A = this chain, B = another copy of it.
Amino acid sequence: MIFEGFKSEVGEWLQGTGPDSDLVISSRVRLARNLANSPFTSVANEDQSRKVADRIGVALDRLGSGLPLQVYPLENRPVVERQVLVERHLVSHELATGEGPRLVGFDETESFSVMGNEEDHLRLQVMKSGNQLDQAWEQMCPLERALEEELQFAFHSKYGYLTACPTNVGTGLRASVMLHLPALVITGQIEQVTSAATKIHLAVRGLFGEGTEAQGDFFQISNQRTLGLTEEQILDNIASVLPRIIEYERKLREELLERRRERIEDRIGRAYGILSHAHVMTSKEALEHLSLVRLGVTMGLLDGVSMTQVNRMFLHSQPGHLQCLQGEPLSSDDRDRKRADLLRGILGDSAG
């Protein structure tokens, strides 16, 4: 088992700390890199992929004590473990369900992670709690430089870093923030925000990035362009729109409190009541209630609940974590029962 007893219960990025953490869950930067003179993952044969994985593994080992990453090959890992890695945002769904030699490396706090043989040979990620995109980028730079000293990256003097998919060519940088925007959703203003973001070439996605829908009022906003811009321009592009979204959401939360206090307290209270007393619950339903409970905690409307509890429920109620905690694979029905048990247990209500 990769995670022995979930040593660090939730990763650093889900601590609910950092600036603007009332609505910015986390900030993330990732770089796509490929080894020079090696075929891209999608066209490499098993032997070539193994060599790439080995070279990356050796390079990560050499980073040594300066950046103590644990590295794990993903082949032959149980499905549930790979699912846990996805839920902790340490690997992509593609890497978890892919084939052939591939690996993941991450540090104890789960702030840094590295994927080997994903769509690109190398994907580097830094995630931090709250609104800390610049800080995440600052931590990324030495990691990338250290690896570049070990590995020669495919680079073109005109196009920049070469990547398997043209949308990543250039900087290979994707910067994103995970936002919790319940007031924008409740008041029906979210469309305005997403269409404004799209107009300035930002993508709006769900909890697990590309190809996932927004759920429970959680939205990931990221750059779409990587070519023809410097890394700083990409970060600035998000930084330019983020304060306005934050301000908008906060203003609407205040208005909800002023004008519809009982209604919003009612929705939050009911969400808490159901989470703490249901005996069967799908993950979709859990996420919807958790969104409202998170809102309640940040608005000071739910005294008895901590952000730590919310974050644990958020992560541990997901299918992989549930099965990992249970120590065995569970059917969908069983998961719905165990999820409800877990949520009741965390909220620790006596009756019901």
- Using CB atoms and an 8 Å cutoff, list the residues of chain A in contact with chain B: 262-263, 265-266, 268-270, 272-280, 296, 302-305, 337, 340, 344, 347, 349-352
Whether A262 contacts B274 by the Cβ 8 Å rule is no
Query: Are B340 and A303 touching (Cβ within 8 A)?
Result: no
User: Do A351 and B262 have beta carbons less than 8 Å apart?
Assistant: no
Residue of B nearest to A351 (CB): B304
Residues of B within 8 Å of A263, CB to CB, are 279-280
Q: When the two chains form the complex, which single residue of B262, B275, B304, B350 contacts A279, counting CB atoms closer than 8 Å?
A: B262
Docked-complex contact B280 and A351, CB < 8 angstroms = no
Chain B min CB distance to A79 (Å): 25
CB–CB B352/A302 < 8 A? yes
Contact of B304 with A352 in the complex, beta carbons under 8 Å: yes
Determine the distance from Cα of A303 to Cα of B352 in the docked complex, in whole angstroms: 7
* Residues of chain B contacted by A270 (CB below 8 angstroms): 273-274, 277-278
Residues of B within 8 A of A351 (CB): 272, 276, 302-305, 347
Partner of A280, one of B266, B277, B296: B266
Given contacts A269-B277, A273-B276, A302-B351, 4 further A-B contacts (CB under 8 A): A263-B280, A265-B279, A269-B279, A302-B352
Q: Identify the closest chain B residue to A344 (Cβ).
A: B269
Q: Which residue of B lies closest to A261 (CB)?
A: B279
Q: How far is the CA of A303 from the CA of B276 in the complex (A)?
A: 15
Say how far A287's CB is from chain B's closest CB, in angstroms.
17
Q: Give 16 A-B contacts (CB < 8 Å), ordered by A residue.
A: A262-B279, A262-B337, A263-B280, A265-B279, A269-B277, A269-B344, A269-B352, A270-B273, A270-B277, A273-B275, A273-B276, A273-B278, A274-B274, A302-B352, A304-B351, A304-B352
Closest CB pairs A-B (n = 10): A304-B351, A273-B277, A273-B273, A266-B279, A269-B277, A265-B279, A269-B352, A266-B280, A272-B352, A273-B274
Please name all residues of chain B whose beta carbon is closer than 8 Å to the beta carbon of A278 when the two chains form the complex.
266, 269-270, 273
What residues of chain B lie closer than 8 Å to A277, measured between beta carbons? 269-270, 272-273, 276
B residues less than 8 Å from A266 (CB atoms): 278-280, 340
Q: How far is the CB of A292 from chain B (nearest CB, A)?
A: 11
User: Is the CB–CB distance between B352 and A273 below 8 Å?
Assistant: yes
Cα of A265 to Cα of B337 in the assembled complex, Å? 11
A273, A303, A344 — most chain B CB neighbours (10 Å): A273
Instruction: Give the chain B neighbours of A347 by CB distance below 8 A.
Output: 351
Closest to A268 in B: B352
State in angstroms the CA–CA spacing of A28 and B313 once bound together: 50
How far, in angstroms, from A275 to B274 measured CA to CA in the complex? 10
Partner of A349, one of B274, B296, B349: B349
